[in-house]
Structure 1
Amino acid sequence: MKHLARLMMAAGLFTMVACTAQADTPPKDLKATLSKKLGRPVDAVNPTPVKGIYEVVMGKRQIIYTDAKGEYAFVGEMVDIAKKESLTEKRIAEMMTTDFSKLPLADAVKIVRGDGSRKLVVFTDPDCPFCKRLEQQSLAGIDNITIYNFLMPLPGLHPDAERKSKLIWCAGADQTTAWKNWFFDAKLPEGTGECENPVQRNMALGESLGISGTPALIFADGQIVSGAIPKEQIEELLNKAKAKK
């Protein structure tokens, strides 16, 4: 606990001095040094706006900071005080991306509204209350959109979610109706849920994308956003992604 407290104190002090100097290039051997000392793979070491302090990326989306010799670790957020902006949060958001065109959309329940011109992928668990909030509130009234819903149950949290996912998928031609009946009326389709289904593939895909919770949204520009974000934010991100095309 004392060690953790010292690290957090260091992070706090580090935050106070963020963005006070020009960025510089990390030493060539710093990545290997850190990997050896930390006992785990380091994906990247990048410069920061603070001279002598470097961003360390591990496990795809975990960020800590270190000095030039890899002797100290700074755990916490780097904040641009003038802009009142978390640079750490911004960098994590930048890393949360994927190639939308390579997603296996045939493995998703497809819902089209209006002209369907805007595209959105949602990873969802049928027993996740936040997924239901997203469906019932955040996505309500959003038009001219095609939504690809990947059923990704989280067995550790919702033991019955995989069964429900398969029941919805195995509704066949009535998938869209089954989807709406469950998320809006808590009514499952009849049947056994025994058909060829992508549920396990979806779980593996989510893990490969660094998605550990639901709902998770992927916009057409590849940006991944976690949580039942507000309708206004979804509209903004949909339009931004469409404009990039």
Structure 2
Amino acid sequence: MKTTPLLLQLQDVCTQTKRLLIASVCLLFAAHAQAATPEEMILKKLEGAGPNIPVNEVRPSRVESIYEVELSTGEILYSTADGGYIFTGDMYQVAPQGFKNITEERRMAARAKEVAALDENQMVVFPATGEKKGQITVFTDIDCAYCRKLHQEVKELNDMGISVRYLGFPRAGVGSGSYYSMVSVWCSENQQDAMSRAKRGESIDEKQCENPIADQYRLGQQLGVQGTPAIFLDDGRLLPGYMPAKRLATALGLTL
């Protein structure tokens, strides 16, 4: 078949059209590959808003287009996918059995991980008598009235098979009188005896040594401790304030 000028022109147009289509598709793929993820956009927005926002992780929440922003302080914020809006507060799922606190579940998981990673050698421990059936990890203060009340029940807890693991949390802060009292307890040769005597209001020898109290105080703040005693279970539950021994045993799932 004879090729006419019109046919040549049409072939040229088709060739150019194919090239344009290929170029457009390549540009679309490149743009898609370079597009920031929601997590990246949220981080960028927060960095632009303030360089001191301590973001630990950004992840999708259970709600479509809403993301969880976990701070290194333990707080959980929520963000739209573009990072344009941030809001606080607990997220609840409306379930057939009632309201389910999704935010608290996240906190529990994070707290459980922190509790599992603790070095028991850095604590003052009152071990269970006989078979160990459970344990509680307690942020405590020497001068706290309810801390002293809880300590009076440590033997009862031990007899029920529950170990009590103490971490220092001087409510007045690092450098306060209660802080130095706790340092003296941790630096004593017999930590259990020093703790018990200090909790009874007796004077103990002032001692100094390398100790974990400041680190434990900061950890308590990170885990949301606002007062003492603050009782943590291994599953990440936080029981704020004093709780009688038998109720603690029930919370641990022990049959009395």
Compute the TM-score of the two structures, normalised by the length of structure 2.
Answer: 0.65
Match of 1:127 among 143, 149, 171: 143
What amino acid does structure 2 have at the position aligned with 1:85?
K
With over 3 angstroms needed to count, the CA separation of the structure-2 counterparts of 1:232 and 1:86, relative to structure 1, is: farther
* 1-structure distance, mates of 2:94, 2:155: 37
- Is the 2:139–2:167 Cα contact (8 Å) retained in structure 1? yes
Q: What is the aligned-residue identity percentage?
A: 22
- Is the 2:66–2:78 Cα contact (8 Å) retained in structure 1? yes
- Is the 2:183–2:213 Cα contact (8 Å) retained in structure 1? no
- Is the 1:45–1:54 Cα contact (8 Å) retained in structure 2? yes
CA-based RMSD of the aligned residues comes to 3.2
- Please give the secondary structure, in 2, of the residue aligned with 1:134: helix
Compute the TM-score of the two structures, normalised by the length of structure 1.
Answer: 0.68
Max Rg structure: 2
* 2-structure distance, mates of 1:176, 1:75: 42
Shift of 1:235: 2.4
Shift of 1:161: 0.4
Partner residue, 1:207? 218
Tell me how many residue pairs correspond in the alignment: 207
Structure 1 runs not aligned, ≥5 long: 1-25, 241-245
- Please give the secondary structure, in 2, of the residue aligned with 1:98: helix
Shift of 1:42: 2.4
Shift of 1:51: 1.8
Q: How does 1:65-214 map to 2 (within 5 A)?
A: 65-82=78-95, 83-98=98-113, 100=115, 102-115=117-130, 117=132, 118-136=134-152, 139=154, 141-142=156-157, 143-156=160-173, 159-173=176-190, 175-183=191-199, 185-189=200-204, 191=205, 193-196=206-209, 198=211, 201-208=212-219, 210-211=222-223, 212-213=225-226, 214=228
With over 3 angstroms needed to count, the CA separation of the structure-2 counterparts of 1:93 and 1:161, relative to structure 1, is: same
* 2-structure distance, mates of 1:197, 1:146: 25
With over 3 angstroms needed to count, the CA separation of the structure-2 counterparts of 1:226 and 1:31, relative to structure 1, is: farther
For residues 124-171 of structure 1, the C-alpha deviation after alignment (integer angstroms, 9 at most, x for no partner) is 11122342343346x573221332323332333993202322343454
Partner residue, 1:62? 75
* 1-structure distance, mates of 2:242, 2:49: 35
- Is the 1:151–1:202 Cα contact (8 Å) retained in structure 2? yes
- Is the 1:30–1:45 Cα contact (8 Å) retained in structure 2? no
* 2-structure distance, mates of 1:51, 1:119: 38
Partner residue, 1:43? 56
